[in-house]
Structure 1
Amino acid sequence: MKKTTIFFTFILWVMSFTAVTAQTKSDIDKKEIGTMLDGFNVAAAKADYTTYFNYFADESTFIGTDATEVWDKKAFMAWAKPYFDKKSTWNFTSLKRNIYFSKDGKLAWFDELLDTQMKICRGSGVVEKINGSWKVKQYVLSMTVPNEVVDQVVAEKTPIEEALILKLKK
Protein backbone atom coordinates (compact mmCIF):
# COMPACT_ATOMS: atom_id res chain seq x y z
CA MET A 1 0.00 0.00 0.00
CA LYS A 2 2.82 2.41 0.88
CA LYS A 3 4.58 1.76 -2.47
CA THR A 4 1.31 2.44 -4.34
CA THR A 5 0.82 5.77 -2.54
CA ILE A 6 4.38 6.81 -3.27
CA PHE A 7 4.00 5.78 -6.92
CA PHE A 8 0.76 7.78 -7.39
CA THR A 9 2.23 10.77 -5.59
CA PHE A 10 5.22 10.65 -7.95
CA ILE A 11 2.94 10.40 -11.01
CA LEU A 12 0.87 13.38 -9.86
CA TRP A 13 4.04 15.38 -9.22
CA VAL A 14 5.36 14.60 -12.74
CA MET A 15 2.02 15.49 -14.31
CA SER A 16 1.82 18.83 -12.48
CA PHE A 17 5.38 19.68 -13.57
CA THR A 18 4.49 18.94 -17.21
CA ALA A 19 1.43 21.22 -17.06
CA VAL A 20 3.50 24.04 -15.55
CA THR A 21 6.18 23.58 -18.21
CA ALA A 22 3.62 23.72 -21.05
CA GLN A 23 2.09 26.91 -19.63
CA THR A 24 5.51 28.45 -19.16
CA LYS A 25 6.52 27.71 -22.78
CA SER A 26 3.36 29.37 -24.07
CA ASP A 27 4.00 32.39 -21.85
CA ILE A 28 7.61 32.56 -23.00
CA ASP A 29 6.58 32.37 -26.67
CA LYS A 30 3.92 35.06 -26.18
CA LYS A 31 6.50 37.31 -24.54
CA GLU A 32 9.00 36.65 -27.38
CA ILE A 33 6.38 37.44 -30.02
CA GLY A 34 5.27 40.58 -28.15
CA THR A 35 8.88 41.74 -27.89
CA MET A 36 9.42 40.98 -31.59
CA LEU A 37 6.31 42.92 -32.63
CA ASP A 38 7.28 45.87 -30.43
CA GLY A 39 10.78 45.82 -31.97
CA PHE A 40 9.22 45.63 -35.43
CA ASN A 41 7.20 48.79 -34.69
CA VAL A 42 10.16 50.61 -33.13
CA ALA A 43 12.39 49.79 -36.13
CA ALA A 44 9.79 51.35 -38.45
CA ALA A 45 9.47 54.43 -36.23
CA LYS A 46 13.27 54.85 -36.23
CA ALA A 47 13.41 54.29 -40.02
CA ASP A 48 15.78 51.36 -39.45
CA TYR A 49 15.27 49.63 -42.79
CA THR A 50 17.53 46.61 -42.18
CA THR A 51 16.20 45.82 -38.72
CA TYR A 52 12.58 46.30 -39.79
CA PHE A 53 12.82 43.96 -42.76
CA ASN A 54 14.81 41.37 -40.81
CA TYR A 55 11.63 40.79 -38.81
CA PHE A 56 10.00 39.41 -41.98
CA ALA A 57 10.47 35.84 -43.19
CA ASP A 58 11.91 35.63 -46.69
CA GLU A 59 8.60 34.35 -48.05
CA SER A 60 6.33 36.87 -46.34
CA THR A 61 3.45 39.09 -47.40
CA PHE A 62 2.48 42.61 -46.32
CA ILE A 63 -1.12 43.71 -46.90
CA GLY A 64 -1.70 47.43 -46.49
CA THR A 65 -4.77 49.58 -45.93
CA ASP A 66 -5.38 50.27 -49.63
CA ALA A 67 -7.11 47.48 -51.57
CA THR A 68 -4.21 47.41 -54.04
CA GLU A 69 -1.50 46.96 -51.40
CA VAL A 70 -0.49 43.29 -51.37
CA TRP A 71 3.28 42.82 -51.53
CA ASP A 72 5.76 40.03 -51.08
CA LYS A 73 8.78 40.98 -48.99
CA LYS A 74 10.94 42.07 -51.93
CA ALA A 75 8.22 44.29 -53.42
CA PHE A 76 7.36 45.78 -50.03
CA MET A 77 11.04 46.55 -49.42
CA ALA A 78 11.22 48.36 -52.76
CA TRP A 79 8.04 50.33 -52.02
CA ALA A 80 9.14 51.27 -48.49
CA LYS A 81 12.80 52.14 -49.23
CA PRO A 82 12.18 55.81 -50.17
CA TYR A 83 10.21 56.36 -46.93
CA PHE A 84 12.98 54.82 -44.84
CA ASP A 85 15.64 56.80 -46.75
CA LYS A 86 13.77 60.08 -46.07
CA LYS A 87 13.17 59.05 -42.44
CA SER A 88 9.43 59.56 -43.03
CA THR A 89 8.14 56.20 -41.88
CA TRP A 90 5.30 55.25 -39.57
CA ASN A 91 5.10 55.10 -35.80
CA PHE A 92 2.75 52.43 -34.43
CA THR A 93 2.34 51.54 -30.76
CA SER A 94 0.36 48.53 -29.63
CA LEU A 95 -2.62 49.37 -27.42
CA LYS A 96 -3.95 45.83 -27.03
CA ARG A 97 -2.60 42.56 -28.41
CA ASN A 98 -3.88 38.97 -28.64
CA ILE A 99 -1.63 36.04 -29.58
CA TYR A 100 -2.73 32.50 -30.42
CA PHE A 101 -0.77 29.33 -31.28
CA SER A 102 -1.14 26.33 -33.54
CA LYS A 103 -1.31 22.98 -31.76
CA ASP A 104 2.33 22.22 -32.54
CA GLY A 105 3.44 25.70 -31.38
CA LYS A 106 5.37 26.42 -34.60
CA LEU A 107 2.96 29.06 -35.89
CA ALA A 108 1.20 31.86 -34.10
CA TRP A 109 -1.24 34.51 -35.20
CA PHE A 110 -1.99 37.83 -33.61
CA ASP A 111 -4.26 40.80 -33.76
CA GLU A 112 -3.62 44.13 -32.13
CA LEU A 113 -5.05 47.59 -31.91
CA LEU A 114 -2.44 50.21 -32.78
CA ASP A 115 -2.07 53.90 -31.98
CA THR A 116 -0.97 55.43 -35.30
CA GLN A 117 -0.97 58.71 -37.23
CA MET A 118 -4.23 57.35 -38.77
CA LYS A 119 -5.64 57.01 -35.22
CA ILE A 120 -6.61 53.43 -34.26
CA CYS A 121 -5.58 50.78 -36.76
CA ARG A 122 -5.58 47.01 -36.52
CA GLY A 123 -2.47 45.00 -37.19
CA SER A 124 -2.87 41.27 -37.62
CA GLY A 125 -0.74 38.52 -38.96
CA VAL A 126 0.97 35.19 -38.79
CA VAL A 127 4.41 34.54 -37.35
CA GLU A 128 6.57 31.41 -37.55
CA LYS A 129 9.52 30.35 -35.44
CA ILE A 130 12.41 30.08 -37.91
CA ASN A 131 15.88 29.13 -36.69
CA GLY A 132 14.91 30.04 -33.12
CA SER A 133 13.40 33.47 -33.91
CA TRP A 134 9.81 34.48 -34.57
CA LYS A 135 9.43 35.97 -38.06
CA VAL A 136 6.47 37.69 -39.71
CA LYS A 137 5.00 35.49 -42.47
CA GLN A 138 2.01 37.73 -43.14
CA TYR A 139 1.12 41.17 -41.82
CA VAL A 140 -2.18 42.93 -42.45
CA LEU A 141 -2.70 46.59 -41.56
CA SER A 142 -6.32 47.74 -41.46
CA MET A 143 -7.87 51.06 -40.58
CA THR A 144 -10.72 50.77 -38.13
CA VAL A 145 -13.98 52.56 -38.89
CA PRO A 146 -16.33 53.35 -36.01
CA ASN A 147 -19.82 52.06 -36.78
CA GLU A 148 -21.25 55.56 -36.30
CA VAL A 149 -19.39 56.87 -39.38
CA VAL A 150 -19.41 53.83 -41.71
CA ASP A 151 -21.98 55.41 -44.05
CA GLN A 152 -19.86 58.58 -44.36
CA VAL A 153 -16.69 56.57 -45.04
CA VAL A 154 -18.45 54.43 -47.66
CA ALA A 155 -19.77 57.56 -49.37
CA GLU A 156 -16.25 59.05 -49.38
CA LYS A 157 -14.51 55.97 -50.80
CA THR A 158 -17.18 54.85 -53.29
CA PRO A 159 -16.04 57.03 -56.21
CA ILE A 160 -12.43 55.96 -55.66
CA GLU A 161 -13.06 52.23 -55.29
CA GLU A 162 -15.90 51.76 -57.80
CA ALA A 163 -13.44 51.60 -60.70
CA LEU A 164 -11.33 49.01 -58.88
CA ILE A 165 -14.43 46.91 -58.14
CA LEU A 166 -15.33 46.90 -61.84
CA LYS A 167 -11.76 46.01 -62.82
CA LEU A 168 -11.60 43.14 -60.31
CA LYS A 169 -14.95 41.73 -61.49
CA LYS A 170 -13.64 41.37 -65.06
Structure 2
Amino acid sequence: MTTLTRLHTRRLRDVYRSAGWPFLDAVEVDLLAAGLLERRMLGGRAGQETLRLTDAGLKVLSDSLQRNRAALNTHEALVERTAQEMARAGRIVWRGLSLRARVDEQWMVARPDVFSVRHTTVEAYLYPIVHEIKVSRADLLGELRRPHKGQAYRQMAGECWYVPAQRARP
Protein backbone atom coordinates (compact mmCIF):
# COMPACT_ATOMS: atom_id res chain seq x y z
CA MET A 1 0.00 0.00 0.00
CA THR A 2 1.30 3.41 -0.96
CA THR A 3 1.32 6.07 1.75
CA LEU A 4 -1.42 8.56 1.02
CA THR A 5 -0.21 12.03 0.09
CA ARG A 6 -2.05 15.31 -0.30
CA LEU A 7 -2.39 14.47 -3.98
CA HIS A 8 -4.32 11.32 -3.05
CA THR A 9 -6.68 13.15 -0.70
CA ARG A 10 -7.16 15.92 -3.27
CA ARG A 11 -8.11 13.28 -5.84
CA LEU A 12 -10.60 11.74 -3.42
CA ARG A 13 -12.16 15.18 -2.99
CA ASP A 14 -12.22 15.71 -6.77
CA VAL A 15 -13.94 12.37 -7.37
CA TYR A 16 -16.43 13.05 -4.58
CA ARG A 17 -17.34 16.46 -6.09
CA SER A 18 -17.52 15.26 -9.69
CA ALA A 19 -19.61 12.79 -11.61
CA GLY A 20 -16.84 10.26 -10.98
CA TRP A 21 -15.19 10.21 -14.38
CA PRO A 22 -11.90 8.30 -14.14
CA PHE A 23 -8.52 9.97 -14.66
CA LEU A 24 -6.82 6.64 -15.48
CA ASP A 25 -3.52 7.53 -13.83
CA ALA A 26 -1.21 6.21 -11.09
CA VAL A 27 -2.95 8.15 -8.31
CA GLU A 28 -6.23 6.52 -9.22
CA VAL A 29 -4.58 3.09 -9.30
CA ASP A 30 -3.25 3.67 -5.76
CA LEU A 31 -6.70 4.68 -4.52
CA LEU A 32 -8.41 1.72 -6.20
CA ALA A 33 -5.81 -0.71 -4.81
CA ALA A 34 -6.24 0.76 -1.31
CA GLY A 35 -9.99 0.21 -1.52
CA LEU A 36 -10.77 3.92 -1.22
CA LEU A 37 -12.42 4.08 -4.65
CA GLU A 38 -14.58 1.58 -6.48
CA ARG A 39 -15.46 1.32 -10.15
CA ARG A 40 -19.08 1.42 -11.29
CA MET A 41 -20.41 0.61 -14.74
CA LEU A 42 -22.91 3.10 -16.15
CA GLY A 43 -26.28 1.54 -16.80
CA GLY A 44 -27.27 1.47 -20.46
CA ARG A 45 -23.87 2.47 -21.79
CA ALA A 46 -21.54 -0.34 -22.67
CA GLY A 47 -17.98 0.04 -21.47
CA GLN A 48 -18.36 3.34 -19.63
CA GLU A 49 -17.41 3.38 -15.99
CA THR A 50 -17.34 5.92 -13.20
CA LEU A 51 -15.64 5.99 -9.84
CA ARG A 52 -17.22 6.26 -6.43
CA LEU A 53 -15.72 6.67 -2.96
CA THR A 54 -16.05 3.65 -0.70
CA ASP A 55 -16.87 4.00 2.99
CA ALA A 56 -13.13 3.80 3.70
CA GLY A 57 -12.52 6.54 1.11
CA LEU A 58 -15.13 8.76 2.77
CA LYS A 59 -13.44 8.18 6.15
CA VAL A 60 -10.02 9.20 4.75
CA LEU A 61 -11.59 12.27 3.12
CA SER A 62 -13.37 13.22 6.35
CA ASP A 63 -10.15 12.86 8.40
CA SER A 64 -8.33 15.06 5.88
CA LEU A 65 -11.03 17.74 6.10
CA GLN A 66 -10.86 17.71 9.91
CA ARG A 67 -7.07 18.19 9.81
CA ASN A 68 -7.51 21.08 7.36
CA ARG A 69 -10.14 22.69 9.60
CA ALA A 70 -7.89 22.36 12.65
CA ALA A 71 -5.01 24.04 10.79
CA LEU A 72 -7.36 26.78 9.59
CA ASN A 73 -8.66 27.35 13.12
CA THR A 74 -5.07 27.65 14.40
CA HIS A 75 -4.27 30.04 11.57
CA GLU A 76 -7.35 32.20 12.16
CA ALA A 77 -6.69 32.33 15.92
CA LEU A 78 -3.14 33.59 15.33
CA VAL A 79 -4.36 36.10 12.71
CA GLU A 80 -6.88 37.41 15.24
CA ARG A 81 -4.26 37.65 17.98
CA THR A 82 -1.82 39.49 15.70
CA ALA A 83 -4.56 41.90 14.57
CA GLN A 84 -5.52 42.59 18.18
CA GLU A 85 -1.90 43.32 19.12
CA MET A 86 -1.55 45.75 16.21
CA ALA A 87 -4.82 47.48 17.19
CA ARG A 88 -3.69 47.63 20.82
CA ALA A 89 -0.52 49.36 19.59
CA GLY A 90 -2.73 52.08 18.08
CA ARG A 91 -2.71 50.90 14.47
CA ILE A 92 -5.66 50.58 12.07
CA VAL A 93 -5.86 46.90 11.10
CA TRP A 94 -7.37 44.89 8.23
CA ARG A 95 -7.46 41.11 7.91
CA GLY A 96 -7.48 39.46 4.47
CA LEU A 97 -7.38 42.77 2.60
CA SER A 98 -6.60 42.37 -1.13
CA LEU A 99 -4.15 44.99 -2.37
CA ARG A 100 -2.42 45.56 -5.70
CA ALA A 101 1.36 45.87 -5.88
CA ARG A 102 3.74 46.38 -8.79
CA VAL A 103 6.34 43.61 -9.01
CA ASP A 104 8.79 43.34 -11.92
CA GLU A 105 6.81 45.70 -14.16
CA GLN A 106 3.59 43.74 -13.53
CA TRP A 107 0.69 44.38 -11.21
CA MET A 108 -0.34 41.56 -8.92
CA VAL A 109 -2.92 41.19 -6.17
CA ALA A 110 -1.57 40.21 -2.76
CA ARG A 111 -3.68 39.39 0.27
CA PRO A 112 -1.70 39.55 3.50
CA ASP A 113 -3.20 37.95 6.60
CA VAL A 114 -2.85 41.20 8.57
CA PHE A 115 -2.26 44.67 7.10
CA SER A 116 -1.97 47.68 9.40
CA VAL A 117 -1.17 51.39 9.25
CA ARG A 118 -0.56 54.00 11.93
CA HIS A 119 -3.60 55.92 13.07
CA THR A 120 -2.82 59.28 11.44
CA THR A 121 -4.13 61.71 8.85
CA VAL A 122 -0.66 62.42 7.44
CA GLU A 123 0.17 60.10 4.54
CA ALA A 124 3.91 60.21 5.23
CA TYR A 125 3.34 58.82 8.75
CA LEU A 126 1.13 55.84 7.82
CA TYR A 127 3.99 53.27 7.84
CA PRO A 128 2.13 50.15 6.64
CA ILE A 129 3.11 46.74 8.05
CA VAL A 130 2.25 43.28 6.69
CA HIS A 131 2.03 40.15 8.87
CA GLU A 132 1.83 36.71 7.25
CA ILE A 133 0.81 33.87 9.57
CA LYS A 134 2.37 30.43 9.05
CA VAL A 135 1.05 27.46 11.03
CA SER A 136 3.20 24.75 9.47
CA ARG A 137 6.69 24.36 8.15
CA ALA A 138 5.29 23.37 4.74
CA ASP A 139 3.26 26.59 4.62
CA LEU A 140 6.36 28.67 5.42
CA LEU A 141 8.52 26.85 2.86
CA GLY A 142 5.79 27.21 0.23
CA GLU A 143 5.73 30.95 0.88
CA LEU A 144 9.50 31.19 0.52
CA ARG A 145 9.33 29.38 -2.85
CA ARG A 146 7.14 32.21 -4.20
CA PRO A 147 9.45 35.24 -4.18
CA HIS A 148 6.96 37.44 -6.07
CA LYS A 149 4.53 37.23 -3.18
CA GLY A 150 7.15 38.48 -0.72
CA GLN A 151 8.17 41.22 -3.16
CA ALA A 152 4.54 42.35 -3.40
CA TYR A 153 4.32 42.56 0.39
CA ARG A 154 7.53 44.61 0.52
CA GLN A 155 6.15 46.95 -2.17
CA MET A 156 3.00 47.66 -0.16
CA ALA A 157 4.53 47.91 3.31
CA GLY A 158 7.52 49.27 5.18
CA GLU A 159 7.86 45.98 7.05
CA CYS A 160 6.86 42.39 6.28
CA TRP A 161 6.77 39.92 9.16
CA TYR A 162 6.29 36.16 8.98
CA VAL A 163 4.61 34.95 12.17
CA PRO A 164 5.20 31.23 12.74
CA ALA A 165 2.86 29.34 15.06
CA GLN A 166 5.20 27.63 17.52
CA ARG A 167 8.09 27.96 15.08
CA ALA A 168 6.02 26.55 12.20
CA ARG A 169 5.92 22.97 13.40
CA PRO A 170 5.65 20.21 10.76
Structure number with the higher helix fraction is 1
Which TM-score applies when normalising by structure 1? Answer: 0.32
Structure number with the higher strand fraction is 1
- Greater RCO between the two (CA within 8 Å, min separation 6)? 1
